Amino acid sequence: MYVVTLLADPKAPNLDRVTVEALRDAWGGGGVRWLNYGIAAEFPLQALPANRWEVWEGLQGIGIDSLIQPAEGRRKRMLLADMDSTMIQQECIDELADVAGVGARVKEITARAMNGELDFEGALTERVGLLKGLPETVIRQVIDERLTFMPGGAELLRTMKANGAYCALVSGGFTAFTGYVAQALGFDENRANVLLIEDGRLTGVPSRPILGREAKVQAFHEISARLGLRPEEVMAVGDGANDLGMLHLAGAGVALHAKPAVAAQCDIRINHGDLTALLYMQGYAAEDFS
């Protein structure tokens, strides 16, 4: 048994009864359950439809995300989340570079690395090198003036934790930012790279070892083993190529507003919804949110 979930952008709640019921009827699904009218609905399905991706493409054209999961075990006991462009709306290293006057160059490298065109470790080393000499006070400046949270993140953390889930933030970014984000949103732990500072200025050299794709996979295994959780009990979310390892390991690996090359390798793709989509896909209705 499977469950089909249909999701709209909460800022443009255009999911209507006709669309949901037409798809349900075409696929021979069961009764529709509205999780939040205009934004999220679901229905059960006996088997995976052969045209699921053609339907997905068509719904994308009208601003609707669709996903299909096994009905059993949808509610996850752990959330493993990327930070940049996932829990927050920025890439922290790009914001630091913008302040340093090398924003365009660093943004280009970031985009290529997140799309899987560049080796993550080499790309990070090059970008950090361009920040050499920046005063450490710029970190607080970026936090105060530039960082904004992805909509739905606070509800996601509160609701999953209220239902017993463990939440870990694992980033290829920097602890100077993950510490702030983790505390603000309520993550149980956070892992990231360290920006090295000497005499109040960034050294331009990243700490070793660099936390990239394999370190996220390692975190997945270490934390789930420590908690006694099976991979299928974990939800992972990210947007970049360095997230693919953990996304493929998780019972639910969510490509959130991901780079095209990343989304193409994932079965769960959220392009229009916000982070509350991760609650709806677990079967939480809006009134269940904490």
Q: Which residues contact 110 (CB under 8 A, 6 or more apart)?
A: 91, 93, 94, 123, 127
**Which stretches of 33-82 are assigned E, i.e. beta strand?**
33-36, 40-45, 64-70, 78-81
Contacts 24+ apart (CB under 8 A), 266-272: 267/67, 267/68, 268/67, 268/69, 269/56, 269/65, 269/67, 270/7, 270/65, 270/67, 271/60, 271/65, 272/7, 272/8, 272/9, 272/12, 272/60, 272/63, 272/64, 272/65
**Count of beta carbons in the 10 Å neighbourhood of residue 130:** 20
Residue from 9, 65, 82, 239 carrying the catalytic annotation: 82
Catalytic residue check, 239: no
Catalytic residue check, 84: yes
Closest CA to 272 of 149, 145, 152, 117: 152
CA distance 254 to 238: 7
Q: Which amino acid is at 287?
A: E
Query: Do the beta carbons of residue 44 and residue 1 sit within 8 Å?
Result: yes
Residue from 9, 16, 25, 84 carrying the catalytic annotation: 84
Q: Kind of pairing, strands 78-81 and 166-174?
A: parallel
270 beta partners: 256
Active site amino acids: 82, 84
